[in-house]
Amino acid sequence: MDNRSIFLKLFLLTCLIILFTVIFSAGCSEYNEIEKEIPGFNGERAYSDVEYQVSLGPRIPGTPGQDQILKWLNEELTQYGWDVELQVHEIKGKTITNLIASRGEDGQYILLGAHYDTRIFADLDPDPGLRNSPVPGANDGGSGVAVLLEMARILPDDLHMPVQIVFFDAEDNGGIGDWDWILGSRAFVKQLEIPPEAAIIVDMVGDADLKIYKEYNSNDDLIEQIWEKARLLGYDEVFLSEYKFSVLDDHTPFIEAGIPAVDIIDLDYPYWHTTADTADKVSVESLQIVGDTLLAWILSLE
């Protein structure tokens, strides 16, 4: 092989290397720009939101704690570009207030929901002397709110499928006097004009020993989609493949109305409806796992 042939081959090889480098760099640059535009879920910030909610005291309908959490949620959501509406209903003799955060055009949308209220009495407390005390609601109420509020901060405003976020009142006081369960979500679904394509309910997702089983009443297709995202993220030891519970929760009115819905919940929580449902029982890592999974699922929608 003469020197000219060797030089030509080296020149062509150099050109290919340069071309590949330019293409790869451009691709990385584009990917990095996308990554910059979509911040990651911040579990630490979500945990701070749990602590703040607990600091407000009980968030029982008709109490100062309810007024304060609604004011705080309104301020936070408005700051991040969401349109906020307070929806007041009379249902079964109770006045309840849902908070609805919307962004984007009307039409098809996905609904994310969590209840913000806390239980009036800690009737499952192991100490009988504490069973008339209110539940602090760090996990049962606080964790779902924290995940969805953080989601509201980071979701881009140009999603393929717009998202509506609803914070439901009066989910948690069934079995106490003349109260019933899931009043806020029942009232919300009853007045729906445009139903969501799907409703995702997040409840009790902060347990340090988080185990989220598939729930029997939830839509199977939605379960598979969300659980697959968790698996791809390496969270299959938290989002477990087995079915375990049949739950009456804020997803129930949607299911009854024929709207696909799923309940993301960990019922194996030893402090449920006790005075020990405090912020120290909630894990940053658990909030992060649920937030990452929900974000991945939402960003995959077309």
**DSSP letters spanning 97-140:** EEEEEE-S-SSS-EEEEEE----S--TT-SSGGGTTSPP--TTT
What pLDDT was estimated at residue 161? Answer: 87
Tokens describing residue 191? 């007045």
pLDDT tens profile 261-300: 999 999 999 999 999 999 999 999 999 999 999 999 999 9
Domain 41-299 in CATH 3.40.50.2020? The answer is no
What pLDDT was estimated at residue 157? Answer: 86
Tokens describing residue 234? 């390496």
CA-nearest of 106, 137, 288, 255 to 203 is: 137
d(Cα 72, Cα 279) in Å, to the nearest integer? 18
Tokens describing residue 236? 């299959």
CA 76 to mean position of chain CA atoms: 16
Q: Apex CA 44: angle with CA 271 and CA 302, to 5°?
A: 100
For residue 171, pLDDT over 50 is answered with yes
Average pLDDT over residues 250-264: 98
Percent of the chain with pLDDT over 70: 87
Tokens describing residue 84? 């906020």
Contact by Cβ (8 Å): 64, 44: no
Mapping DSSP to helix (H, G, I), strand (E, B) and coil, where does residue 291 land? helix
DSSP structural state of residue 207: B
d(Cα 291, Cα 293) in Å, to the nearest integer? 5
- Describe the chain by its helix, strand, coil percentages, rounded to 5: 40, 20, 40
